[in-house]
Amino acid sequence: MPLFPSRVPVTRPVLPDISAIAAGLEDVWARGWLTNNGPQLQAFRDDLCTLFETPHVDLLANGAVALEAVLDCMELEGEVIVPAFTFPATAHAVLRAGLKPVFADIEPTRLTVDPEAVEALCTDRTSAILAVHMFGMPCFVDALQKIADRRGIALIYDAAHMLGIRYQGRPISAYGDAAMFSLHATKVVHAVEGGALVYRDGALRPKLASFVNHGIGGASRRGTNAKMSELHALVGRIVLAELPRISARLEKLRAIYDDALSGISGVQRVYNMCDGLEGASGFYPVLFDKDVGSRDEIMAALAADNIDTRAYFDPPLNEDPRFGTEPVGTPVAKDISGRIMALPFFADLDHEDAGKIVMALKRAIET
Ligand SMILES: Cc1ncc(COP(=O)(O)O)c(C=O)c1O
């Protein structure tokens, strides 16, 4: 008999009160304005400008295309250094912008790109570093900025996991030349699908406006349809208003997991609340010690108890032939990818269920 009678998902989107969505929809219907920079989108962008403390925010159809847009509109050429340990979208965006990804290893405590590895890979072909803040943990922003300044190259952050996070007293978007936030349904704040782009140079705005709207106006090198609709913006605004509640729930849940897991040997917490970090992460990954056994077998045992987990992120992207890069040694990314597993983690996860999940994990490891 599985421990849970029905499947516990690894994540579940925040579903705001349907009556708030219905009221917003009536407003959208009354105006008859469904997309192309409508009033819902403008209001959502204003809310995000307040959160990110800057007027330079744009909303796009998803996070992946937002990364592609910024790489394209910054008119980069040649190579972009990206971490080997990340979601495939990071490297696909580089390819889709006509650039070549060069994979760097990560640092083992934050799982973000190792500045020393970045430095070693920089050449005169490098035009940007695309670093990824991981699972709510910030990159080594000061070291990366120094490299970017010394080399005169761009520093862009994939901050897909970071909405609501502040670091060293500033919104995480304040670091680098630009930061992309995913608003996918699995994120702490979502718009069903969506992406937000925060950038330092206001001159990017007309280029981005052209890029997302088929290149019309001619300000961008390329164009596609990457506009956010009024319906998505509506959901995004309503979910964003719940951020304090969502964050409080996630922090409580993290404390429950932390406490329960402290009694299990061989399982390490991944999330490090490094100095100066504020805000809730939407992920709860763990790392298995090598002597604990196979991560994949533990995942299978949990699946038999109806507990959904994920091997986020495995394999390292430099092992994916689609990116066509020469094999570069990334031993830390390789090691972490083989031992990491994300537990179910979402604002509305029942606290008692979290305790049962840890019990099942303990049993899976013991057997
Ligand atoms: C690190 C990272 N980058 C990019 C993305 C892509 O974002 P989206 O799903 O909004 O396109 C994700 C999605 O989860 C991600 O985890």
Cβ(165)–Cβ(281) under 8 Å? yes
| CB atoms near residue 324 (< 10 Å) | 9
The pLDDT tens digits for 54-107 are 999 999 999 999 999 999 999 999 999 999 999 999 999 999 999 999 999 999
Which atom of ligand 1 is found nearest the CA of 158? 3
Instruction: Work out the pLDDT band at 272, boundaries 50, 70, 90.
Output: confident
- How many whole angstroms from 237 Cα to the centroid of ligand 1? 19
Question: Using a 6 Å cutoff on CB, does residue 197 contact ligand 1?
Answer: no
Cβ(156)–Cβ(118) under 8 Å? no
Instruction: Work out the pLDDT band at 271, boundaries 50, 70, 90.
Output: confident
Q: Pinpoint the residues of the chain covered by CATH 3.40.640.10.
A: 18-240
Q: Pinpoint the residues of the chain covered by CATH 3.90.1150.10.
A: 243-366
- How many whole angstroms from 180 Cα to the centroid of ligand 1? 9
Q: Indicate the CATH number of 18-240 among 2.60.40.10, 3.90.10.10, 3.40.50.720, 3.40.640.10.
A: 3.40.640.10
Q: How far apart are CA 74 and CA 205, in angstroms?
A: 11
pLDDT at 328 over 70: no
Which atom of ligand 1 is found nearest the CA of 195? 10
Q: How far apart are CA 356 and CA 5, in angstroms?
A: 12
Which atom of ligand 1 is found nearest the CA of 187? 14
pLDDT at 327 over 80: no
The pLDDT tens digits for 204-226 are 999 999 999 999 999 999 999 99
pLDDT value at position 326?
A: 64
pLDDT at 263 over 90: no
- How many whole angstroms from 268 Cα to the centroid of ligand 1? 25
What percentage of the chain has pLDDT greater than the value 70?
Answer: 99
Query: Considering only the top CATH level, what class is 243-366?
Result: alpha beta
The pLDDT tens digits for 115-151 are 999 999 999 999 999 999 999 999 999 999 999 999 9
DSSP reduced 3-state for 356: helix
| CB atoms near residue 151 (< 10 Å) | 18
Residues in the chain, how many?
367
Q: Exposed (0-12), middle (13-18) or buried (19+): which is 310, by Cβ within 10 Å?
A: middle
Instruction: Work out the pLDDT band at 367, boundaries 50, 70, 90.
Output: confident
